[in-house]
Amino acid sequence: MSAPGAALLNRPPGATGGRGLAMQLLLAVVSGGYAVGAALNWGSEEVAEVMGDFGLSAAGLLAAVSCYSYARSIDSRERPAWLLFAFSSLMGASGNAVWGWYEVVLGVEVPKPSVADFAFLCFAPPAIVGLLVLAKRPVTRAGWVCLGLDSWLIGGSLLTLSWSLALAHAAQTAQSGAPGSVPRAALSLAYPLLDIALVSMVLVLHFRRSETNRSAVNTAIAALALTVLSDALFTSPLLSAEYQSGQLLDAGWFAGSLLLAYAPWGARRLHPGLEPLGHPRGERGHSRPITGSLPALVPYLAAAVCTLGILYNVVDGRKVDRMVVFTGCTVVLALVIRQGIMLLDNIALTQELAQKENHFRSLVQGSSDVIMIAAPTGTLRYVSPAAAGVYGREAEELVGTELAALIHPDDLGRVVHEVRRFLAAPPAEEPTTRIECRFKSGEGEWLNVESTVNRHQGGLILNSRDVTERVRLQAQLQHSAEHDALTDLPNRALFTRSVRQALTGRRAGDHSTAVLFIDLDGFKAVNDTIGHQAGDELLVEAARRLQDSVRAGDTAARLGGDEFAALILGDGSRDRSAREYQVHEIADRLRTTLSQPYRIAGSEVRVAASIGVAFADPGITPSDLMRNADLAMYRAKAGGKNRVEMYAPQMQAEVVRRAELAGRLRTALHEGEFALLHQPVVSLATGEVSAVAAQARWRSAQGILFTPAEFLRVAEGGGCAPAGPDASRTAELGRWLLEEAVEQAADRHRAGHDVPVSVRMTAQRLLDRAVPTGSVEALLTRHGLPSGALILELAVSDPRVPFEDLERRLAALHRLGVGIALDGFGSGYAAISALRRLPVDMLKLDRGLVEGVAESARLHKITAGLLRIANDLGMQSVADGVDLPEQVMALRAMGCTHGQGVAFSGPLDEYRLRRALVRGTFPVPGGAAQPALAGGSTGGSMVIRRGSHNETPVPPT
């Protein structure tokens, strides 16, 4: 917003330009009416005297009240000046009132001198001091001297002219010695001398006035100047003898008083902090040339006036008065002194300017930035020497060149548009702008240049620097932020952006676009067997194969680890089945390509690829599309790996169901909804309870008890989602199960039931680094569970489990008296390796070997062979899932020592368990019998042997 606009907005309501114009018209009408009345002698001599005396007094009183009121309303350095103006006007009003008292009331001639003369003489001094207060104060001693000299130059020249015209006659009258001549002469001299001093201050103030409330100050100066002019006419010999109150001369005094009364209120006052009207921000001090040259002409004008005074006496044939000569000499002396001061100031300013010019020239020439000045036509007028080092071109070579010819054609339109916009903007709002473009170097290369642009005499000043390295670094950083560092394929962020563009761009309506998620099966084994360096080489080769296999418009990316992705753009086909067949074919080709053998570090390495495919259905978002492809990929891995799986909506429904159940599981953990049950482990020979197996049950809000197979599948993940989505909850559940089992077992031991408790635990959890190494030992010590009372049923089902670490951990627990049972024996991964390397005390047959042992001859032979291995190694055996009497008899005949299942008892709560332990035995189908093979325990509690866990020697035959 401009300053005038801001001033209008900050005016009080109703204070518009019309109000100020109305006041000015009223002032002109009143002053003009007074002048017309004075010119017509007011119709009568009596009215003329009243208007000439009391009219002027009323006008002076109005000016005094106005200035005083204004002084009371402001709080600045101007207040004393307006108070002095008020006092000066009051003195004038008093003088006219006294004059009217004599002429109008008493009807006598005003004596000379009188009180009126005293009041009139007191008019000029306060006004002079007030003008000094308003003047701009010099900041140096030389400035004060120049102010005094300027005042004397004006005053002395006026004194010379006045003395020649009128004052010399008054002085001669005083010298004549006539009675009363001296006071009258002194009085006649005092008026013009004070007026000369007042005029001098008015002129000095005109050139040195301050910026504050300039309109009011200018109006006050005009009012005082009009008053001084009227005084000068009054003191002249031509009018002083013929003057009578109410004549036209009084109109000047009357108008001066009204103008002074109008000055503080009628002139427009700006809101504090705004620039004066007509001087926008940034243009202060740039006045017109004539106005700026007047102060420099004042000394010569004063000398000219002084010369005119002397010439008047010479031309008239008079003898030159000594007063004129003396005053003229002092004026000339003041002029010489002032010019000497100005000369010294000019010399100092010239030296300072030369120093600054040299300083800035050295800055420009020594700057590493290139400074160029372009004319309004676009031609370079100046180029700093830094151009040789930055652009490889000499500055003289660039001067005179068109700036547009040096800018890259692709950037020229943008640069021209920005320059035109910048030049059209107001300088106060936008003093500079910044432009980046490519600039042609001396070697013909295009350099990236950043320029700060300023206005300069209709043209431009450009401060330019070479930012080519910065632009290259930014491009490298941008590429690094969007690409995988190992394979240089787009990363997840860039791939997601590509998918978003495919769904929202011109292909937004093409629902045949597909996303492929690819996972390398067996890659972890490559890292573990031949090292991470080889794994990185395999990933690089797989990325190359993937990049070579996709079409030109498609996008291949690495999402992280051994996961890749591909965006297959649609062809606009509306036949969904045909498009699915085509994309499935592309995915299967990728799977085949990625599953080909890799030659890494001189060895042949094989991995497979599981691929999930999802299509861009109507209204789908990029995140949902990528999630669907991810779900399909995990379904492919769960379905056997090395295959392609298309996304189906039921996959997401299954994930939602499992997420809801997992959420309920987390709530159950915090709210204590889990219960611990124990299932007896019975000796197949005697029916005695040898141990109890701890099992957790989850009682839902509906009162349903979920079995471990049901809720652990939710907690550990499975199906079409990544394994272990809530591993922290699974670990928390495992800790709860172990702590509850040990605590309740310790209570039973204190009650006299010395049966060990078995707790199932995975090998991964036993080696979890987040679990303290001595947590099991600390738990046994805290609850006081004796040695041999805890059996850990170890499940080894993950090929990534390091056997060395597991062997050391189990050996430490075995030395503490903790029994180790190999759970799920006969199925899963590395059962024979675990049996050979780990300190195992007993084998727990998998349920799958027990369920059909009585019906299937083949399964009977397998189970019998495994039990023979256990008996040959001197280990006890436990059959899990013994639910039928036929299974009991078959297993006992094969040499199985213990069984666990519904054939004896289901899981029991603590009360029923203790009743069963008091009873001690369960009926065995077929009656008690000795085991068919040697090596097993015949009954009672399970015995944890402390022998070596090395391989058992084969006895000679």
Q: Which of 144-153, 317-326, 754-763, 921-930 has the highest mean pLDDT?
A: 754-763
pLDDT tens-place string over residues 434-489 = 988 998 888 888 888 888 899 887 788 888 888 888 888 888 888 888 899 999 99
pLDDT-derived band at 495 (thresholds 50, 70, 90) equals very high
**Secondary structure of 458-514 as H, E, C letters:** CEEEEEEEECHHHHHHHHHHHHHHHECCCCCCECHHHHHHHHHHHHHCCCCCCCCCE
Which residue in 763, 752, 730, 757 sits closest to 741, CA to CA? 757
Q: Which of 254-268, 320-334, 619-633 has the highest mean pLDDT?
A: 619-633
Beta bridge partners of 466: 449
pLDDT tens-place string over residues 837-853 = 888 889 998 888 898 88
> DSSP H helical segments within 775-856, as ranges?
775-783, 803-815, 831-837, 847-851
Top pLDDT among 728 and 645 is at 645
Top pLDDT among 884 and 827 is at 884
Across 281-290, 598-607, 820-829, 871-880, least confident range: 281-290
Question: For residues 499 and 405, is the Cβ–Cβ distance under 8 A?
Answer: no
Could you give the CA distance from residue 850 to residue 887 in angstroms, rounded to a whole number?
Answer: 7
pLDDT-derived band at 734 (thresholds 50, 70, 90) equals confident
Could you give the CA distance from residue 259 to residue 27 in angstroms, rounded to a whole number?
Answer: 8
Across 16-25, 197-206, 800-809, least confident range: 197-206
pLDDT at residue number 902: 92
pLDDT-derived band at 900 (thresholds 50, 70, 90) equals very high
Question: For residues 4 and 268, is the Cβ–Cβ distance under 8 A?
Answer: no
pLDDT at residue number 592: 92
pLDDT at residue number 193: 58
Q: DSSP 3-state helix, strand, coil percentages of the chain (rounded to 5)?
A: 55, 15, 30
Q: Which of helix, strand or coil describes residue 758?
A: strand
pLDDT tens-place string over residues 572-599 = 676 778 888 888 999 999 999 999 999 8
pLDDT at residue number 349: 80
Share of the chain above pLDDT 90, in %: 18
What is the average per-residue pLDDT within 298-323?
Answer: 64
What is the average per-residue pLDDT within 907-918?
Answer: 92
Across 36-45, 571-580, 608-617, 910-919, least confident range: 571-580
Could you give the CA distance from residue 733 to residue 712 in angstroms, rounded to a whole number?
Answer: 9
Across 292-306, 666-680, 786-800, least confident range: 292-306
Confidence check: pLDDT of 871 > 70? yes
Q: Which of 162-166, 557-561, 783-787 has the highest mean pLDDT?
A: 557-561
pLDDT tens-place string over residues 656-710 = 777 777 777 777 777 777 888 999 999 999 999 999 999 988 776 666 666 655 5
Top pLDDT among 691 and 384 is at 691
What is the average per-residue pLDDT within 236-259?
Answer: 74
pLDDT at residue number 15: 44
- The number of beta carbons lying within 10 Å of the beta carbon of residue 401 is 16
Contacts 24+ apart (CB under 8 A), 408-415: 408/437, 408/438, 408/439, 408/440, 408/446, 410/438, 411/437, 411/438, 412/437
pLDDT at residue number 4: 33
pLDDT at residue number 823: 86
pLDDT at residue number 519: 93
Could you report how far apart the first and last alpha carbons of the chain are, in Å? 112
Which residue in 923, 859, 922, 851 sits closest to 886, CA to CA? 851
pLDDT-derived band at 157 (thresholds 50, 70, 90) equals low
